[in-house]
Structure 1
Amino acid sequence: MKNSFLLLGLTALLLVSCSITKSVRDQRNLISGSWTLDDITFENNEGTFKAVLFNDADAICFEGSNWFFRDNNSTGRYTIKGGSLCSGGDRFIRWSVVERAENYSGQLKFKFIDEKLKDVSGGIGYSLNIAQLTAQQMTLKSNVTVDGEPVTIVYQFSKI
């Protein structure tokens, strides 16, 4: 009898610890769907930057890219248009939203997977701060260092 109560208590604790907050659930629901990455800018530093984003392609290649987030299994993809500077095609991702305090409502995290949903990044992922999120607009920011100086990369998305 005691073992049954102990098992029931541990199961309840496990379920509570694995649940997500209402804030994270709301953000996931807003992110779910198709987006276009309209613009990438750089803040907190002057000059012209040539940046390779997500260890994948130059920033210019991401402008106009299409992003899709499926919230029921936390998978998605982004598609870059091919061109003389850009290797086009789909990149598959597994994504999540986590709460974050530091002046942002949350963080969008993702890592690369293959078509069979297997991790291809060796556990390495990317974190983007959610600066603004509405049903039609999303602004994400990531902080990097260039020549020892902080730079914030700003990603402006619109819902398709």
Structure 2
Amino acid sequence: MNKTLILFAALATALSSCSVSKQARQQENTLSGTWILNNVSYENGEGNFSSVIFNDAKDICFEGSNWFFRNNNNTGRYTIAQSTLCEGGDRYIRWSVVDGSPNQLQLKRIDEKYKDISGGVGYRLNISEMTENAMVLKSNVSVGAERVTIVYEFTKK
């Protein structure tokens, strides 16, 4: 009886640690669909900034990019338009919403066959705002000794 109780308690603990909150599930459902990244800007820093985002492309290349999130298997993609500054095309991702304060969008790059191409490197963006039609994500980065926040503003298509 004692072993059964210990086994049940261990199983309950394991299952609860893998679950996500109701709010995170709701945000995953809201995220599902196609979004446009309208603007990439910077907060908490002085001067002009430019960055390479997700170890992929310059920030300007992401403006106007299309993002698709599929919540039934937590995969998706973002598409960057081809230009003289940007190598266009689809980039595939695996994503999830992580409970926290605030909740975070976690993503990593994969190939079209769902295999990791990032060497295990992933990214977490704070979910600053999320409605059915608009989303603001923020990530903190260091520029020398200064902390700068990259702000990503999306609208749902």
- TM-score for the superposition, normalised by structure 2: 0.92
**SS at 2:37 equivalent:** strand
Aligned to 2:109: 112
RMSD: 1.6
Question: Which ranges of structure 1 fall in alignment gaps of 5 or more residues?
Answer: none
Alpha-carbon separation, structure 2, partners of 1:30 and 1:41: 23
- Per-residue CA deviation, residues 85-131 of structure 1 (Å, 9 max, x unaligned), is 00000000000111122xx2x10010011111011111100110000
**SS at 2:137 equivalent:** strand
Aligned to 1:137: 134
Question: After the TM superposition, which of the residue ranges 4-13 and 140-149 deviates more from structure 2?
Answer: 4-13
Alpha-carbon separation, structure 1, partners of 2:123 and 2:154: 17
Question: Which ranges of structure 2 fall in alignment gaps of 5 or more residues?
Answer: none
Alpha-carbon separation, structure 1, partners of 2:129 and 2:121: 25
Aligned to 1:47: 47
- TM-score for the superposition, normalised by structure 1: 0.90
- Quote how far apart the aligned CAs of 1:18 are: 2.1
Question: After the TM superposition, which of the residue ranges 45-54 and 88-97 deviates more from structure 2?
Answer: 45-54
Q: Mapping of 1:6-155 within 5 angstroms?
A: 10-101=10-101, 104=102, 106-155=103-152
Alpha-carbon separation, structure 2, partners of 1:145 and 1:13: 37
**SS at 1:15 equivalent:** helix
Q: Which amino acid aligns with 1:34?
A: T
Alpha-carbon separation, structure 2, partners of 1:51 and 1:27: 27
| Count of residue pairs brought into register by the alignment | 157
Question: After the TM superposition, which of the residue ranges 43-52 and 137-146 deviates more from structure 2?
Answer: 43-52
Q: Which amino acid aligns with 1:112?
A: R
Q: Which amino acid aligns with 1:153?
A: I
Alpha-carbon separation, structure 1, partners of 2:87 and 2:28: 29
Q: Which amino acid aligns with 2:47?
A: G
Alpha-carbon separation, structure 2, partners of 1:96 and 1:62: 20
Identity among equivalent positions (%) equals 57
